[in-house]
Amino acid sequence: MSALGRDLAPGGFWGPHAQPPRPQVIYTVRDPKDVLVSLFHFSRIFRPYKDPGTLEEFMEKFLEGD
C-alpha cells in the first residue's frame, strides 16, 4: 500500500491516529558465479543463442561483457 501513497488510500484505512508504514528498500544481489553457470547452461539449450563453447571460453566472454 505504501507504493500508492497515503493520499490514495481509502478514507479511514490507516485509522484516526495510525501512521502509515515507513517505506522500505529491498536490495537483491545474486552471486556472479551462479549467474555465469546458470546462463551457460541456459545458452546451451536455447537454440537462438550460438554455441557457448566450453565453460572457460564462456567465462571469458561473460567477463568481457559479450
List per-residue pLDDT tens for the chain, 66 residues long.
Answer: 446 566 676 666 666 666 767 788 888 999 999 999 999 999 999 888 888 899 999 999 999 988
Q: What is the pTM of this model?
A: 0.54
User: Residue 63 and residue 66: Cα distance in Å, rounded?
Assistant: 8
Beta-carbon-side half-sphere exposure of residue 32 (alpha carbons within 13 Å): 4
Query: Which residues have a Cβ under 8 Å from the Cβ of 55 and sit 6 or more positions away?
Result: 37, 40
Beta-carbon-side half-sphere exposure of residue 35 (alpha carbons within 13 Å): 7
Single-letter residue type at 22 = R
Query: Closest Cα partner for 37 from 66, 59, 65?
Result: 59
